[in-house]
Structures are given as structure tokens and as C-alpha cells.
Structure 1
């Protein structure tokens, strides 16, 4: 159904559009940073286990062959995802629908429509939290859902992200959240090296070491996410990537264990799905610093680290001094 108007074309993969309201019926699920199962797996299972086809037999899909996912961020990395399809405007839902069925009206207004030409379910997020901010004057608008259009195979065709033009410097980074937290020491098992860094190190870990780390019993409470860090020591840059475990005394051949010191940290996260890519957060930190209503003082005796919540997002943890009332000059 035609419910959009193109305002401008940014480039071949992105357009600025105006959307009208749509009525969506779908299955609603709640996700947290501890969730291993994500929207991609949710879409695939609901399409293949017969849930969506059962719904379509009871309530007509207004756009046959096409489906809709609605992503709405919550607090502390939690979010909801509704997967279903467009229907004619209707009142109360009939009886006999699958568990967790809901009716939802999408918001009208300005959106960035990003075509998915990369193949991955979250490739649109890489563009939206990256080059989009230099290609356009728009930012993510809090309080609205991201709207995904999905085909019968469960492939994301394009994402409509709610946007607006920021009126103040604070609105430029309004989707970035900074929260002061305390952490105990974290024991992490993985790869420490000065030979490779960044994505190369991550790829090596998942191709050679992830199965070993994730199979360890004391890893199970944290198996949903991974930790990366880098630091300079005696003139050499080291990088580490691995998974948190409970046992600080565990020795595993071919793997290294590091202890991340406990204490106060500034946790930096964002409302947008960033596909485990912290690049936008790093850029924001460079532009706005660690200001969240407190004059935070970075603790240079500890290293910052990144938590990668697989299939969801990433968060950066910067160590700060216990005395948050002291300002760095």
C-alpha cells in the first residue's frame, strides 16, 4: 500500500520520506542485553513455524508477501520488537489469535528510508549510525519506532528510521545515553595480542576461539555478550577480545585471561540499533565528552572497554574517578 511520499534522495541507498500512519498486527516480544535470541531470529521463526500464516488466515494482510517489524527502544538497552503485517484499520482484535498478538499504529512523520543492499538484517543500521550523520542534517528522533519492511523469506528490504532536524546542540546527540554505574572486577577469557587489532582480532576470535570459550560452564551466565579492549603498555599497543567468565583462576591452553578492574564507569549506549558497532558512540564521545550532568573525571589508571551484545548493540564503558564532583582542567 502506498503510504509514503519521497521528500529527497540522499544517495542510491537512502531517501528522506514522509510516512502516513499504518495499522500493524503482529507478535510482540521484549528483549534485553542478555537476550541471545534477537529480532532476526524472531522474524525467521515466526515465518517458518506457521505463526504468521495462521494470523493471515484469520486477518487479511493488506500487503500480501510483505511484512513489518517495529523496533522501539526502552531503558538500559531493553527494547521491544513487533513482527507482523499491515491491516485495514480495525478495532478490537478477535479471539483465537496466537499468544502475544497486538495491534499497533505506526507513527506518521519524517523518516530516513535506507535500502538494505548488504544482505545482513542489520546492515541498514551501520549506515544510519555512521555516514547518514555526515550525509544529512538529520538525527534519530526519540519516541518513535523504527519500521522494517521484510519479505516472505525473512529478508530485510529497507528500514524507515524516524528522524528530525536538531534545533539545539543537545538534540544532536539526544539518542546517546550516559549512565554512571559501578562494576565488580570482570574476568574475561579470550585473545590478547599486539599483532592484530579491531575487526581482524574479532574475526579470528569467532573463527578459532569462540566455541571453546562459550562451551565453558562458568561462561554460561555471560554467553550473550563479548568484551573488547585495547591499551598501550611499555610502548606497545595490545588488543583483547573475549567473553566474561566467573572463574578468575581458569587456565585454558591457547587463550589469555585478563581482569578488568572494578569501580565506577560511565556506560555510554544509544537508542538506535547499532549492530554491535560502537563507531557512532566513539564519535559522540569525542564531540560531547563524558558530560551527563556531572563533571566526570576519567580514571587513566584503568582502560575503557566495549561490551558487544550479540545481535543487538554495543556499549562503551569508560572508567571514572570515584569523586565525580572534581572536574578535569
Structure 2
């Protein structure tokens, strides 16, 4: 049972690296979230805060002030504070850097279960080598050395959602501790957007409660239902087809997205046209995207590459 008290957000901690928000509610459980690397603390919103309001649940959100990966010396100050705001069992939830935060700090903050989408196990270059170089520039030895997720950090129940076909994330998943308390759920062709499988009020509510109860089968079924209808999955399958020299199949897969997701449709279709020798048609699609959104960097990059390649082909 829940009783929405207006979900007034309070800033209960404002440090050098993170800010902690609390939206109290007389619910019978608590949602604790850790935000993504692109989030910036503003005292108002946190990862899944709107979803928590819709669910009417007691909510605590840890929000970074920069891509900090939740450093120990500041997080150690927060564990008792967050425990003091908990009502009933608590679920720690996050994606990417937030998934790391949920796994590394959720239990220490009092969470009974953790749900992590495409998390990192570490960003320490000496542990990753060439396998995942995405976050090397974010690594600061004074903050992040020895901060890998280990078994001692895990909650009673931990669920990791990852796309095993997305190489960097699968590398990170394999660096997580081998533990009976940690279950991995695969979400093929969601790439780094596995958190989209948790979207939607009813779907999220089912997954959150299943995570609190340790119901792996229910989480897996809910993730699959959401995944097969996700437009991101269709886009990513089509991108894979392009990379594997199946451009006509890629075009066919994204055709249904032409009206609902026109930019994604145009980007994938233009790439398919380029790969099948229809450069002029591809150019028109890229120009259409740029006309719609003059700041669309990816379309500009692809158009520039296309023009360069065309010039090279002519010279050749």
C-alpha cells in the first residue's frame, strides 16, 4: 500500500561529488537509484524519480555532479544517512555508471536487492586493458583505485541486465563477482540501452517487486516482453545487418519505424543505402535529418564521411 504525500523532493546531502535527494512517501518499500554519467545534480530530479512518483514509493536518488563513479570517501559519508530514510525493504537501481553505483553501494546503503542495467564492474585501466576503453579518461586513481565491485559489496539478491552482443558491456559483466546472489539476464540487441526494458509504470512495478522478492523468472519474462517490442531492438538489429553486409534486410527491418521514429529510421536506412551503392539517396536522407535538427552531429558526421568517400571513389 502507498499513500502519496505530494512527493516533495528534499536535498539531504550536497557534497563535492554527489547530491542525494529524498522524496518521502508512506509506502511499504523504498527505491534507491544511482544516476548515469551524463546526469548533473540540480536538486530536483534523479534517475527514475518520475517513475517513483508515479508508483507512489519512498524514493532516494544519488545524483553525480560529474561522471564521478561514486567515490568511496564521499559515499562512506552517505550510507547511514540513506539507511535512515529507508522504509521497508529497499531496491537499489541504476544503469551504466548508475548500475555500478547500485551494485557497489546499494547493499552498503541498506538495499536488500539490486537491479543493474548494463553496469560497469570497474573503470580501472589496469584491470580492463584494451577490452573496454570507454571510461579511461574518467579514471582518477585517488578516487577509483580499488573500487571494483566485489562479492562483499553485493546485496542479498542482485540482478544484472546486459546485452551479451554488446562487447564492452559483456566484458564488464564478466568482471562482476561470480556469486550465487547475482543473476544475469540477457537482453539481446538492446546494446547499452537495457534500461529501456524496465520502462513503463506497470512493467517497472512488476520488475521492481520481483527483484525485491528474488523472482528471477518473473524479471526475465518481463524483460523479454518489453524487449521484443522496443524500437531500439529493431534499430540495433538493423545496424547489425548493415555491419554484416545485409543492407536490404536492414532497410526492411526499420521500415515500420518510418513514421514513429523518423530520425532512427533515416540514419539506418541511409547507412544501408550507402552500403548498397545508393549514395545520392543516402545523402538526401542525411540532409533531411540535418534540416529537421541542425545540431544533429551524427548525421553531419555520416554525411561528411559519405561526401569524402564519394570524392575518393570519383578520383579512383
Quickly name the TM-score band, shorter chain normalised.
under 0.3
- Which of the pair is proportionally richer in helix? 2
Q: TM-score, normalised by structure 1?
A: 0.24
Tell me: higher relative CO, structure 1 or 2? Use CA pairs within 8 A at least 6 residues apart. Answer: 1
Between Structure 1 and Structure 2, the one with more strand by share is 1
